[in-house]
Amino acid sequence: MNKLIQPFHLVTLSPWPILLSLSILNLMISLIYWLSFNVKLIMVFLFLFMVILCLFQWWRDVIRESLLQGFHSLMVVKGLKMGMLLFILSEIFFFISVFWCYFHMFLSPSIEIGSLWPPKNIQMFNPYMIPLLNTMILVCSGVSITWCHYSIINMNKLESLISLFITLILGMIFSFFQYKEYMECTFTFSDSVYGSIFFMSTGFHGFHVLIGSLFILVNLVRLNFNNFSNFHHLGFEMAAWYWHFVDVVWLFLYLLVYFWSY
């Protein structure tokens, strides 16, 4: 009896999805306990270490499937790309919901907030200061990661390493400036609907920048160990897509939340 030949990769049993889910659950619970009851941070760091460990092990298995076992055929790569595009699409709709809330309050501010936007006693950030600087940083990071992609295609390892490292540094600088901005902010999450929308939109975007920086760090290590070729670098491509998505979302955030409301 002939064995059925199919082009798809049937993933083997793995403990990492369930262990990662439990680790994230425990991390969130420990964070809530720390914020609510001011308990020690030891449990937070413990479960954060568990999350990082599970991620490392899971990504290690995926890299082995692709690099050493050769399971990522053209059909599998096509499916993975479609999955990543659908994931980015879901993220787009998430931010659309945030922008929808912003437009609802901006175009017709309710009487409860004085029929003004931004509401009274909300001291806005100057859009020509840190927000504009962060915009330039993210635009430059989009250029550098495109430079890296071009260098990988042309098999220029040195330039690809330099450009990807520059992208990582720019992402970290962006996160640092956003942290400084939050520290100097004169309003909080509970200060009217503007404070809620501001911290919801910029905070989630900042979280996406941290995730994108982690993706880039993993790809930088893989690039240094020659895990990519000029025609098979799917992990880098998906990280680059994600980073460009983060860049575009920030442009909308800058124009709407910072510039237009000023």
Per-residue pLDDT tens for 144-201? 999 999 999 999 999 999 999 999 999 999 999 999 999 988 888 888 888 888 999 9
Answer whether residue 96 is part of any domain: yes
38 and 86 belong to one structural domain: no
Q: What are phi and psi of 69, to 5 degrees?
A: -90, -15
34 and 85 belong to one structural domain: no
Which amino acid appears at position 181 of this protein?
E
CB 243 within 8 A of CB 142: yes
- Residue numbers of the domain that contains 24: 15-71
Angle of helix 192-224 relative to helix 234-253, nearest 10 degrees, comes to 160
What is the total count of domains within the chain? Answer: 2
Average pLDDT over residues 117-140: 89
CB 174 within 8 A of CB 137: yes
Of 71, 88, 104, the residue that ends a domain is: 71
Domain CATH code at residue 59: 1.10.287.70
Question: What span, in angstroms and rounded, lies between the C-alpha atoms of 134 and 251?
Answer: 10
- Residue 1: predicted pLDDT: 43
The model's pTM: 0.89
53-68 pLDDT, tens digit per residue, is: 999 999 899 889 888 8
65-86 pLDDT, tens digit per residue, is: 888 888 888 888 898 999 999 9
